[in-house]
């Protein structure tokens, strides 16, 4: 619970709000999906997208135990197309996934950012925890027609079991 409240604190800081439609891309076990769904509430929803069936199974079990009905499972094969309509999402979380371990080629990261851009409402924001790519991520994201709005330093939950200092960058569409 301590980890969840830590994750929730960061989400509140970066502008996750009640009623939002949120995409948690590369959601893993749901460290951020579950608290985001609690904040979004019944009027909001969180798309939990991952290519790993096992992590999504675990996440959905946690959602059921917590009585959360606003998480939509999106299991993929790792493709970079996102099965959501244009301008339909208020907030995108890209936490500890936008790095070269998962997206080896810069072209893949560009494609992912273009998809994220497409599904974001004009007023939406993209929040990135650029772990493992702290120095390059910001520039790559700006090159994809986003502008940096704010940086948030604080404690982040890593791998669902420890807390470490980090930075989340908030971007909006140009």
Ligand X SMILES: C[S@@+](CC[C@H](N)C(=O)[O-])C[C@H]1O[C@@H](n2cnc3c(N)ncnc32)[C@H](O)[C@@H]1O
Query: 123 or 165: whose CB is closer to ligand X?
Result: 165
Asked if 75 is part of the footprint of ligand X (rule: CB under 6 A), the reply reads: no
Q: Are 150 and 170 in contact (CB under 8 A)?
A: yes
Q: Which of residues 37-66 bind ligand X (CB under 6 A)?
A: 49-52, 55
| Helices 53-65 + 33-40 axis angle, to 10 | 40
DSSP per-residue codes, 47-101 = EEEES-HHHHHHHHHHHHHTT---EEEEE-SS-S---S-TT-EEEEEEES-SSTT
Tokens of 67: 């009585």
The whole-angstrom separation of Cα 123 and Cα 63 is: 28
Query: 27 or 120: whose CB is closer to ligand X?
Result: 27
Asked if 27 is part of the footprint of ligand X (rule: CB under 6 A), the reply reads: yes
Q: Nearest-CA neighbor of 109 among 73, 117, 121, 120?
A: 117
Query: 121 or 132: whose CB is closer to ligand X?
Result: 132
Asked if 26 is part of the footprint of ligand X (rule: CB under 6 A), the reply reads: yes
Q: Are 51 and 84 in contact (CB under 8 A)?
A: no
Asked if 102 is part of the footprint of ligand X (rule: CB under 6 A), the reply reads: yes
In this chain, which stretch among 28-36, 39-47, 58-66, 143-151 interacts with ligand X, using CB under 6 A? 28-36
Which of 10, 16, 21, 96 is close enough to bind ligand X by CB under 6 A? 96
In this chain, which stretch among 90-98, 135-143, 147-155, 164-172 interacts with ligand X, using CB under 6 A? 90-98
The H or E element spanning position 117 is helix 106-119
Query: 48 or 120: whose CB is closer to ligand X?
Result: 48
How many residues touch ligand X (CB under 6 A)?
A: 16
The binding site for ligand X (CB under 6 A) comprises 26-28, 31-32, 49-52, 55, 76, 78, 95-97, 102
């Amino acid at each position: 619970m301590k980890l969840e409240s830590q994750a929730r604190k960061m989400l509140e800081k970066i502008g996750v709000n009640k009623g939002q439609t949120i995409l948690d891309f590369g959601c893993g076990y749901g460290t951020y999906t579950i608290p985001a769904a609690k904040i979004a509430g019944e009027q909001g929803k969180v798309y939990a997208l991952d290519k790993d069936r096992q992590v999504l199974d675990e996440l959905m079990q946690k959602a059921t135990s917590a009585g959360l009905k606003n998480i939509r499972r999106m299991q993929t094969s790792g493709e970079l197309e996102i099965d959501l309509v244009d301008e339909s999402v208020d907030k995108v979380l890209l936490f500890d996934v936008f790095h070269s371990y998962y997206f080896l080629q810069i072209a893949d990261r560009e494609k992912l950012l273009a998809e994220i851009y497409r599904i974001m409402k004009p007023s939406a924001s993209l929040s990135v925890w650029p772990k493992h790519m702290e120095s390059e991520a910001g520039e790559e994201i700006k090159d994809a027609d986003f502008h940096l709005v704010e940086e948030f330093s604080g404690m982040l939950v890593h791998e669902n079991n420890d807390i470490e200092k980090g930075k989340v960058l908030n971007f909006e569409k140009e």
